[in-house]
Amino acid sequence: MSECFSLAFGVGTQNSAGQWLEVFYPQPHLHPAAGLLKVIADQLGYAGGNQALELRHSQCEALSSAIEAAGFAEAAGVVAQLASSTRPLVCTVLATDEAPTSTPEAYLKLHLLSHRLVKPHGVVLAGIFPLLPNVAWTNQGAIDITELPQRQLAARLKGETLNVHSIDKFPSMTDYVVPAGIRIADTARVRLGAYVGEGTTVMHEGFINFNAGTAGTSMVEGRISAGVFVGKGSDLGGGCSTMGTLSGGGNIVISVGEGCLIGANAGIGIPLGDRCTVEAGLYITAGIKVALLDDADNLVEIVKARDLANQADLLFRRNSQTGAIECKTNRSAIQLNEMLHAHN
C-alpha cells in the first residue's frame, strides 16, 4: 500500500437511524507504517482513499492477531480492547489530508489536534461543521437531540436523572484526550480539536476553541478563538480576546508570538510578533489608527494596526491624556521607517 496520512480504530455512538454522533479514537496514528495499512487492506478490504470502514466485533480478534503478527503490538492491543465493546466500531483511514466527508473522518482530525500530532492549521478542516451533528452531551454519553426526551423519560422511570451538560457540535476535549503536563480549571471550556501545549494552564474563564491553542507554558485566562495559535511563554489576561476567523477576523490568521502579554479585557485583531504587550482594556483591530513612537517616544507616523502585524517587541497602549492609541517600540525612527517601507 502507498503512504497514508492517518488512521485510527474507534468506538462511538450512533443514533437509532445508524447515523454517527461521535467517535472516540484512543490511539490515532499519523503517517502510519505501510505494514499496518496492508493488514487493514487484507482484513477489512480497504482498497484506498479516505474511508470510514465498518468494524464488526466478530472481525476484531482476527484483525488484532494479524496486526500483532505484523509487529504493531500497541495497535493490536487497542483492537483487542474494542472487541469487548457492544458499541459501534469503526476503522477510519485517511489516505490524504483532504476535507473530511464523514463524521468519523471529522472526529479523527479533531483527535489529531488534541493529541498534539498536528498543530492548528496543520490539517484540512474545510466543511467540518455539517459533519458534526448537534448533540446532547450527557452523563450517559452523546444523545441525538430528537431522541433526548424519550431518553430523559426512560431515565426518570428507573429513578435516575439524565444530566445534560451541553448542546453543541463539539464535546469537551478532556472527555476524549488529556494531554500531558496541562492544567484546566473548567474542562467544559476547552473543545475537542484544541491543541494544548505542555505547561499550559487554562483558568476558569479561559477558553480554547478547536483548531486553536498554545505551544506551551502559557497562562490562559482569556479566549483563544478558532484558528489562533499562541506561542510559548505568552499569557492571556482575564477576559481578553483573540479575534478568530469565525468571529469577525475575516481571512486574517491571528496568532500570538512567544513571550507576549495580552492584558485583562484587551484583545487583538492582528497577529502579534514575539515579546509584544497589549495594555489591559485595549482592543487592537486591524483598521484602527495607531501613533507609532520610536525608542525616544517621538512620533514617527500614524499607521493602521495591520501595518504592525507580526512585528516583535511592541507595546500597545492608550494615551491617558489624549485617548490616542500608541505603539511604543525599542527602535529608532530610521529603523521604523525602513520597517514600514519594507512592509508596504
DSSP structure string for 100-169: --SHHHHHHHHHHHHTTSS-TTSS--TT-GGGS--EEEETTEEEEGGGHHHHHHHHHHTT----EEEEES
Query: Cα dist. 168→131, 154, 172 in Å?
Result: 13, 22, 10
Query: Cα dist. 140→107, 147, 155, 190 in Å?
Result: 19, 13, 10, 20
Total residue length of the chain: 344
If one counts every other C-beta atom within 10 angstroms of the C-beta of residue 174, the result is: 17
**The three three-digit cell numbers of residue 101, written as one number:** 466527508
For residues 11 and 23, the answer to whether their CB atoms sit within 8 Å is yes
Closest to 195 in 3D by CA, of 175, 217, 210? 210
- In DSSP terms, 6 is beta-bridged to 30, 94
For residues 228 and 212, the answer to whether their CB atoms sit within 8 Å is yes
- Measured distance CA(155)–CA(271) in Å, rounded: 49
User: Is 279 assigned a catalytic role?
Assistant: no
**Which residue stretches of the chain are H helix?**
34-44, 57-69, 73-82, 103-114, 148-157, 333-343
Query: Cα dist. 295→292, 334, 340, 341 in Å?
Result: 10, 11, 16, 18
Set 221, 301, 326, 338: catalytic member: 221
Instruction: Give catalytic residue positions.
Output: 221
